[in-house]
Amino acid sequence: MNFSIEVNNKKVEALKGEKLLDTLNRAGIKVPTLCHMKDRFPSGACRLCVVEDMNTGKLITSCSFPASEGMRIQTHSPRVVESRKTIIELLLANHPDDCLYCTRNGNCELQSLSDNLQVRERRITGRKSKNNMDLSSPSIVRDPDKCILCGRCVRVCEEVMEVSAIDFINRGSRTVIGTSFNQGLNTSSCVNCGQCIMVCPTGALTEKKHYEEIKNALADKTKTVVIQYAPTISVSLAEEFKMKPGTDINRIMNAALRKVGFDYVFDTTFSADLTIMEESAELIQRVLNNGTLPMITSCCPGWVKFAEEFFPDLLPHVSSCKSPQQMLGAVIKTYWAQKMNMAPANIYSVAVMPCTAKKFEAQREEMTTEGITDVDAVLTTRELAQFLKMLGVDMENIEPENADSPHGFRSTAGKLFGASGGVMEAALRTAYFKITGNEMPQLKVDQIRGLQGRKEANIKVGDLEIGVAVVSGLANAKKLMEEIRAGKSKVHFIEVMACPGGCINGGGQPIGAGENAIKARMKSLYDIDEQEAVRVSHKNPEIIEIYNEFLGEPCGHKSHELLHTTYNKRDVLM
């Protein structure tokens, strides 16, 4: 039942049972928050969302207080503004004064609130925090001194990802957010997904930078420096340059990367096609030969580490395929190096990914052969934007260029890898062709598209009916894995992405983009798929060429040696 409340002397419609903050947001009335997370149970911890109830004269937290008929609310009364300003001043009292050096300078919620509330002098002083930075993780840096205890990182890690690597520890004024026994993040259950970075309002959580290594490699005349970029990068990078969300700047990005000194520029979508060839062949082998089913994708390193830690008994279900990043890294330092007559040790290979877990994946022992790593350094979408800005690239005045070949041509099936359900859809297109000899009558599989956390479908492939499931967000993955353990799931093939919505919402993407931007990125990938000619991985001419010249056949001896790997149980401090 709907009813009206009075907000700032105007009538606003409210819904029965909803929280006041939701009512205000629907009405377009902006109220600041720090601890609040959309669609999550309110904690009411930061108190920034207070409003004045004119009926009682009290300040109430709008995120946790229900809207009720007859309410009269002021959202920016003098008492409210002064309360919010005092809260910010208290948070700043022991906060580091290093905004000029902070990664989040200019994109910090605490900084913005301080500006909006006109905090222009230090009225409250406190002893500055003196905690050690945690540099132990290969992907994520924790700076406890910049933490304001909003709890958003704890909640996303526990409620959305069900990893629970971090939590509030100690008591009272000594409370901090840390890991079990306050050890390094590398010994915790952290899967390096970076979703904590995405929700952190300050610079307390950031990705580990690889700038210096890359700059040194670019300056080293003995090195050939190559770079690859993931399918979703071209539709998300534009936002960092104030362009419309979802804008595809693929060819502009190619030119920009060459301009800053990369010798060769490759599209990881090529190796997404390669992954489909291997993964579909593996699935067919398992289905036809009574292999371990359901088979689960292995493209997402956050998911793979989650499986190693929490579901080691289900590792035989996980595909042995390397991710597209690692496949292309391996191909560059073998097949491509041979074609170019280069020593693999003299090739420095960089990857641009929407994901902080890719930094972890690149340094896994399994991704190194005879001292040569598949990929040497990884940049996130955010880091690439900062790198290009640092080197003075004008993205609006640059002549677009194509990626280098081989390993530059792609199908649109590989491009779909960026969205949840895309790997599944691409794999089904090729599996259907391999089993029936014909193309899928309808390449678009609506049942597994969209941002829902779990999607399932039954797909008719010749005489077979293949049950498929797509999950994103590790809490959804955990629930499905528990069903498999219990023998309840009747699916044959499962796609898992750690981040909600897939790589378009990865932990290395632009911070603070919002749901509309994520939807725009997804739409852009689907539009590319609709508009281009080669929409299946098995028709990519460069894929056909590499199998004919080098790999032999999918899941054959050579491809298995180069493009597949193993995963093992991990012990962590819980």
559 is catalytic: no
Catalytic residue among 319, 323, 472, 489: 319
Cis peptide before 294 (omega within 30 of 0): yes
282 is catalytic: yes
Catalytic residue among 63, 153, 200, 299: 299
Cα Rg, the chain, nearest whole Å: 25
- 3-state SS, one letter per residue, for 73-103: EECCCHHHHHHHHHHHHHHHHCCCCCHHHCC
**What type of residue is 154?**
V
Residue 531 has φ and ψ, to the nearest 5°, of -95, -20
Collapsed DSSP state (helix, strand, coil) of residue 179: coil
- Beta-bridge partners for 461: 464
Catalytic residue among 279, 309, 425, 495: 279
Catalytic residue among 361, 383, 425, 495: 361
366 is catalytic: yes
361 is catalytic: yes
What is the rounded CA–CA span in Å between residue 304 and residue 311?
Answer: 10
Whether 453 and 471 have beta carbons less than 8 Å apart is answered as yes
Residue 537 has φ and ψ, to the nearest 5°, of -65, -35
503 is catalytic: yes
What is the rounded CA–CA span in Å between residue 558 and residue 329?
Answer: 15
Please tell me what DSSP assigns to residue 564. B
299 is catalytic: yes
Catalytic residue among 52, 239, 278, 282: 282
What is the rounded CA–CA span in Å between residue 204 and residue 453?
Answer: 28
Q: How many Cα atoms occupy the beta-carbon half-sphere of 573 within 13 Å?
A: 12
Burial of 560 (0-12, 13-18, 19+ CB in 10 A): middle
Catalytic residue among 189, 503, 524, 555: 503
Catalytic residue among 6, 159, 162, 366: 366
Residue 78 has φ and ψ, to the nearest 5°, of -55, -40
DSSP secondary structure of 402-448: PPPSSS----HHHHGGGSTTHHHHHHHHHHHHHHHSS--S----GGG
DSSP secondary structure of 99-141: GGG-TTTTS-HHHHHHHHTT--S--S--PPP-PPPB--SSSEE
Chain centroid, CA 29 distance in Å: 30
Collapsed DSSP state (helix, strand, coil) of residue 363: coil
38 is catalytic: no
Residues carrying an active site annotation: 279, 282, 299, 319, 358, 361, 366, 503
